[in-house]
Amino acid sequence: MMSIKSSEDPVIRFAKLSAELYYFLADALIENLGEEKGTAAIEESLRNFAEKRVADMKKEAKERGLPPDAPDTYLKVRDMPSNGWEHDSENTLLITQCPMFDIWKSFGEKGIAMGALYCEIDHILFNGFGLVLNRSQCKTNGDQVCDFRVQLKEGQRTDGER
Q: To the nearest 10°, the Cα dihedral for 4, 9, 15, 18?
A: 50
- Helix 108-119 to helix 10-33 angle (10° resolution) is 100
Please state the φ and ψ torsions of residue 147, each to the nearest 5 degrees. Answer: -95, 125
Host domain of residue 14: 10-152
Residue 145 lies in a domain: yes
Chain mean pLDDT for the chain = 93
Task: Give the global pTM.
Answer: 0.90
pLDDT attached to residue 161? 67
Residue 2 lies in a domain: no
SS3 35: helix
Q: How far apart are CA 136 and CA 149, in angstroms?
A: 8
Residue 162 lies in a domain: no
Residue 13's closest CA among 3, 4, 24? 4
- Answer whether residue 154 shows pLDDT above 90: no
Residue 5 lies in a domain: no
- Answer whether residue 19 shows pLDDT above 70: yes
The number of distinct structural domains making up the chain is 1
Residue 64 lies in a domain: yes
Residue 4 lies in a domain: no
- Assign 3-class secondary structure to 105-131: HHCHHHHHHHHHHHHCHHHHHHHCCCE
Q: What is the pLDDT of residues 91-105, one digit of tens each?
A: 888 999 999 999 999
